[in-house]
Structure 1
Amino acid sequence: MNLFTELALAHRLADAAGAAILPHFRTAMDAERKGDASPVTVADRAAEEAMRRILTAEVPQDGVHGEEFGVSEGRSGRQWVLDPIDGTASFLAGRATFGTLIALLVDGFPVLGIIDQPVQRERWVGVTGQPTTFNGQPVQTRRCRELAEATIATTGPHYFTAEEGDTFMTLAQQTDHRRMIMGGDCYNYALLASGHLDLVCEAGLKLHDFAALVPVVEGAGGTMCDWNGEPLHGGSAGHVLALGDPARLDDVLEAMGGAHNHAH
């Protein structure tokens, strides 16, 4: 699958989103509240609109699944999945750890992903069958000899149910928990791809939260799956694991209490 044209398009989408987002970063703005009470900003909408305009003009046959403006079904078996600002709370707090996520799914599976941090001008790109790059240079995850040495990250305990939180803490206690990272959203997966973190564990993610991460992490030598060790796809329930060293997967699943079924 040669995704040369699609990759060029994805870069233009990321550029357009960044241009829409940057004027609003660290400005006083009122966050509206969506039904699920997550803050939605002017920047979020402007960035998604900018990306959708390009897609409608250039690949009208492809589907588009965006966080802000829903799903438009395509007829090509291909779907662009957009999250203009992943990490809205960080964005509103003036933290440059949010990112724009762009993914291309073919028949429900992510084959291309971009994590873009426009403030710091950092861009991670993953394409199936190619090494992941950070600002054009190949990056690799790091090896992790044992779970006790692993640095684990999660966006925060408030995203877990009580049961999920217990499962997470059971796992975290078997890692080097003094170095545990809280907060970070998509940025943690980017750091894992670049070899700075070993493990990310989250629940409650939607397709637009995780689709772009998979090609980035896997192209850097890591692995992503759900809490049962199954591959992530359009129908996944949102329990997400990312490992820099795939050799630790069995240890992680065992530490989480065996692969008991977390599907809702």
Structure 2
Amino acid sequence: MDKQLNNAVAQAMRESARKAILPRFRLGEAIAADWKSAGEAVTVADRESEAILSNKLGRLLPGVNIVGEEAAHDNPEILSHLSRGDCWIIDPLDGTGNFAAGKIPFGVLVALVQDGLPVGGWILDPLTDRFCAAQANCGATINDEIFHVRSPQRSRPQVAVTQLFADIEMRTELFANLQNKFDMLDSPRCAADQYPRIALGENDVTLFTRTIAWDHAAGVLFLNEAGGRAARPDGSPYRCEDAHAGLIAATCSILWEDIAGNLVKAGINLKGAAQDL
């Protein structure tokens, strides 16, 4: 693993949290937010964090394209970088809705991508300073310590489900079909929380519909390199350019296959179930 790269990315992410995010967060106190679209909040913390990260990462690997969540909202053309060449992907404040309401969880996500596939993934929890890192074929670390998934020993695995289903009836049907075998939970809107939660064994599985690159590229790589499994419902690898193909993330391949098989039997397709970008 390239420790120099890890350290540089960690420094940039911690600086963005220290300068842009933490000074504005008070538990239980809401702050002003704008709305990019229905349910999509943005704050000054998002914008300042992205500016810091774009500057730092741009200097770290000169010439590599940068796709930040806020920049992509302003200029969707930059999304073309997700499928070709090298690019940084930045989610400057994942879980903005929680953050703006004075709630947790929220985090910062950065990924490095080559031709649509994540090759580097980093996740920072600003409140605890937990730093998850992974590089392709090099394993995963938490706070610089080698890390492997902690598979829980529950008799009934816990399955968290995104609340971003455009079709509520489909989500209700999913719960009905799985709850006899699994304990079903609502997933808070924060991928930066969900991927470490799965890896640490706090949840067993999370089902996603909308899979935008800045939410998932880092976490998919981290979970896979830590020994879990994150893949499209048909078993194909996650690619950054497809935001609506659905995703199953699990602590292990056996549980992943169990969930995927149950979805097929129930006729539930995560693909296309998400809201628009």
For Structure 1 versus Structure 2, the TM-score category normalised by the shorter chain is 0.7 to 0.9
Helix, strand or coil at the partner of 1:65: strand
Partner of 1:247: 254
Partner of 1:185: 190
Q: More displaced, 190-199 or 90-99?
A: 90-99
Q: Cα distance, 1:167 vs. partner?
A: 5.6
Partner of 2:275: none
CA contact (8 A) 1:141 1:222 kept: yes
Gaps spanning 5+ residues in structure 2: where? 73-77, 273-277
Partner of 1:68: 70
Q: Cα distance, 1:4 vs. partner?
A: 4.0
Structure 1 runs of 4+ aligned residues shifted over 6 Å read none
Matches of 1:205 and 1:4, distance apart in 2:
28
1:17 aligns with 2:27: no
Q: More displaced, 51-60 or 108-117?
A: 51-60
CA contact (8 A) 2:152 2:201 kept: no
Partner of 2:45: 43
Helix, strand or coil at the partner of 2:260: helix
AA matched with 1:78: D
Matches of 2:211 and 2:139, distance apart in 1:
25
Matches of 1:263 and 1:95, distance apart in 2:
30
CA contact (8 A) 2:162 2:209 kept: no
Matches of 2:136 and 2:177, distance apart in 1:
29
AA matched with 2:109: L
- Offset from partner CA, 1:200-239 (integer Å, 9 cap, x none): 1111231111101011101211010122222101233241
Aligned length: 259
1:152 aligns with 2:154: no
Helix, strand or coil at the partner of 2:230: strand
Helix, strand or coil at the partner of 1:142: coil
Helix, strand or coil at the partner of 1:197: coil
Matches of 1:131 and 1:84, distance apart in 2:
24
Matches of 2:108 and 2:3, distance apart in 1:
20
Gaps spanning 5+ residues in structure 1: where? none
TM-score, normalization by structure 1: 0.86
Helix, strand or coil at the partner of 2:264: coil
1:131 aligns with 2:139: yes
Percent identity, aligned pairs only, is 25
- Offset from partner CA, 1:60-99 (integer Å, 9 cap, x none): 310111100123859x921111101111122123233111
- Residues 102 and 238 of structure 1: is their aligned pair in 2 closer, same or farther, counting only changes over 3 Å? farther
AA matched with 2:25: F
Q: Cα distance, 1:132 vs. partner?
A: 1.7
Q: Cα distance, 1:125 vs. partner?
A: 1.1
TM-score, normalization by structure 2: 0.83
Partner of 1:95: 103
